[in-house]
Amino acid sequence: MQTDEKRNAIRHLTFMLLFIAVVYVPFFIVLTLKYDVASVAISRIGWRFDGFRYLVSFMILTVPFMLYQVFFFIRIYGKRNKLLAFLAITGSSLIVIGGFTPYYEDTLEAVQFFHCVAAGAGAVFSFIAVTYMVAQYCASGGRQARKAAVPYGVYFIAASAAFFALQSAALFQVGLSLCSFIVMYLLNSSLVRNNIPQERKTDVVLAVS
């Protein structure tokens, strides 16, 4: 990675870190203090508990930032990745569609069902996208990257356990988003710091020669 390119990448990483620490964490704390997030989903907070502004804030803060981190990873990783882009875009779109589908008590059951399916599928696609990022990093990033498989594996085990414990509760939804942002930030910063794309190209050249 050239010096100017790396300097620009570091600026993006600084923005990511500040966004997580200064914007998303306070949003998570405020939401936790105001609502019973361990038992109520973010969509129910928005549609049934007079918290629509929090639902909108969740969408604005979560979806664009996730796509930003994913496409930064694709650019730094150094190769086209249509599958990862598809997973991220599809997941984000379904989350938005599901989240903004009305979910009142008197809403038609078919509409409520569509809301749950779309939002749930969006969360699954997004989680698979993060998983795929980790798998790519660990598989193609050299020895140091493969060592990172253990802590990231712990994250996915903990996320799975949290899902079975909290299911669709806002604590799980927003907390998983926050943890996923941290994971994606660590992946991106590792790519930039270790210059992994350049190392991979060097390995290929050496193997050919």
Each residue's pLDDT tens digit, 111-136: 888 888 888 888 889 989 998 988 88
Question: Residue 37's closest CA among 162, 151, 149?
Answer: 162
pLDDT averaged over the chain? Answer: 83
With 90 as the cut, is the pLDDT of residue 93 above it? yes
Give mean pLDDT, residues 175-202: 77
Residue 3: how many CB atoms within 10 A of its CB? 7
Closest of 61, 190, 100 to residue 136, by C-alpha: 190
> Looking at residue 153, what is its pLDDT?
78
pLDDT the model gives residue 144: 65
Output the CA torsion 35→36→38→39 (10° steps).
-120
Instruction: Return d(Cα 153, Cα 121) in angstroms, integer.
Output: 22
Report the candidate in 97, 37, 39, 30 with the shortest Cα–Cα distance to residue 57. Answer: 30
Whole-angstrom CA distances from 89 to 106, 112, 179, 193, 203 are: 31, 23, 19, 27, 31
